[in-house]
Structure 1
């Protein structure tokens, strides 16, 4: 296994890694807090959450397996060379565990809070079912030959696929409603910061090792950053450029309600806000 050639670059790598971890981990909380305050999940696309849970579960399997399994690491070195570094760091594993937990909490909020007429689409249910059935088949294929690196690469590919499609329902929902109310922009801003830091971390490692195997040896992590950044920019554009007037209208409406609201508020009208 390769060692670091530059101490400053190693420190930068660790700093960027944990910056990505903190940004991505905190990014889950604005939406959870927004849902809790409003006691409503109207405006949050349920397909996005369900697809996100499958994505992070797959990514957790990949990260944990490659980071902890010596057998898989051996197969990685045999494929990419003994002088390469394992492309999964401790912060990647920590992030995945935290992401699965927080996404599950968001899914629980969907089950208990007011959601209007929203529901998980049959298309998403079909996609998730097909993905996990495919993963189960791959497990049985890998068992006889112990092709563990190939198997976890399947889970890595699944998380890339889910990353590509998971944002699409929310993008179109914002477009259809002509509003981002109910979908936390704080989540997006932190996700964007995490994606930039994650990509920077991989670049630092490649510069130190004078090799770009790190990028295509862990294509999932590479695409995770690029796809996340791409969709984050779309959400930021929707929130601040295309639909800002909707936010202003909501604020104006709330101001009028505050001037005429009764002494005791009705629990049937949750407060609309964005975090």
Structure 2
């Protein structure tokens, strides 16, 4: 038995909707030279291909519980992968400048409250099936709290906002704009600069 509460469904639905919005923004808005890495594309292809194979394996015998367990494993693996690049980049740069810690704080709070919910439910029901019956949910929360703790430690302890650990090279890289100005932007900027010149300067 895998206990599924209404809030679990709401969480998954909310996550899908938000990620669809973010993906649509990536498709619509200017990205400059930023693009998906080959590793990310390869991981996504492998995950969807594996999920499709498992679906067709489960289809003849209707082993839906087994399929859900596989999806749970995939979700745990993806959670393990998605936090690592940010933590590794912070380590290489010795800085969290430009990194949104607010998302991590909310994520960490969600993981803690998730465990709290499971504990309260288990005490109320007199059974710990909420933990051993849904290992995927437990592992996802555990991985989330683990990585969030690392990222918070990097932000507040290892690489505080004074950025003393930044090298001059990294500082220059941070100051560089992500998107270079277009000719139209440069023309507008030049016009505004000319309009603000004093008569003596003209």
Q: Scaled by the length of structure 2, what TM-score is found? A: 0.74
Q: Distance in 2 between matches of 1:116 and 1:209?
A: 53
Unmatched segments (≥5 aa) in structure 1 = 1-75, 77-85, 255-264, 267-275
1:65 is matched with none
List per-residue Cα deviations over 1:32-75 (Å, max 9, x = no partner). xxxxxxxxxxxxxxxxxxxxxxxxxxxxxxxxxxxxxxxxxxxx
Is residue 246 from structure 1 mapped to residue 125 from structure 2 by the alignment? no
The alpha-carbon deviation at position 119 of structure 1 amounts to 3.1
Pick from 101, 109, 132 the counterpart of residue 17 of structure 2.
101
The alpha-carbon deviation at position 183 of structure 1 amounts to 2.3
1:237 is matched with 153
Pick from 76, 82, 90 the counterpart of residue 6 of structure 2.
90
Describe the SS at the equivalent of 1:167. Answer: helix
Q: Which has the higher contact order (CA 8 A, sep 6+)?
A: 1
Aligned positions of 1:1-275 closer than 5 A: 76=1, 87-113=3-29, 115=31, 117-243=33-159, 244-246=161-163
Aligned length: 169
Q: 1:108 to 1:175 in 2, by over 3 A?
A: farther
The alpha-carbon deviation at position 98 of structure 1 amounts to 1.2
Q: Distance in 1 between matches of 2:28 and 2:163?
A: 27
The alpha-carbon deviation at position 125 of structure 1 amounts to 1.2
Unmatched segments (≥5 aa) in structure 2 = 176-187, 190-202
The alpha-carbon deviation at position 124 of structure 1 amounts to 1.8
Describe the SS at the equivalent of 1:245. Answer: coil
* RMSD across aligned positions (CA): 2.6
